[in-house]
Amino acid sequence: MMRKTRWTMASLLGAALLVISCGRDAGPTGPAPSADLLSPLTQTLSNVTGTLLKCRKLPAYANAAVIGKNGGTLQVGPHTLVVPKGALSGDVLISGFAPSDNNRVVQFQPEGLQFAQPAALTMSYSGCGLVVGLLPRVAYVDDNLNIVTYLLSQNNLFAQTVTGRVPHFSGYATAW
- The pLDDT of residue 122 is 97
Same domain, 91 and 20: no
Same domain, 79 and 152: yes
Structural domain contains residue 54: no
Same domain, 82 and 139: yes
- Chunked into runs of 10 residues, the chain (176 residues) has average pLDDT values of 42 36 38 44 45 91 97 97 97 96 94 93 90 82 91 92 92 88
- The pLDDT of residue 133 is 63
Same domain, 89 and 11: no
Same domain, 156 and 74: yes
Same domain, 32 and 88: no
Same domain, 76 and 141: yes
- The pLDDT of residue 80 is 98
Structural domain contains residue 143: yes
- The pLDDT of residue 49 is 56
Structural domain contains residue 163: yes
The total number of structural domains in the chain stands at 2
CA atoms within 13 A on the CB side of 119: 28
**Whole-structure pTM over 0.85, yes or no?**
no
- The pLDDT of residue 46 is 39
Same domain, 119 and 71: yes
Q: Are 105 and 99 in contact (CB under 8 A)?
A: yes
Structural domain contains residue 20: yes
The CA distance from 136 to 157, in Å, is 10
Same domain, 171 and 103: yes
Residue numbers of the domain that contains 24: 2-48
- Please give the full DSSP string across 46-112, using - where no structure is assigned: HHHTTSBPPB-----EEEEEEEBTTBEEEEETTEEEEEPTTS-SS-EEEEEEE-SSSS-EEEEESTT
Same domain, 152 and 84: yes
- The pLDDT of residue 138 is 95
The CA distance from 148 to 155, in Å, is 20
Same domain, 68 and 155: yes
Structural domain contains residue 56: no
- The pLDDT of residue 132 is 59
Same domain, 23 and 65: no
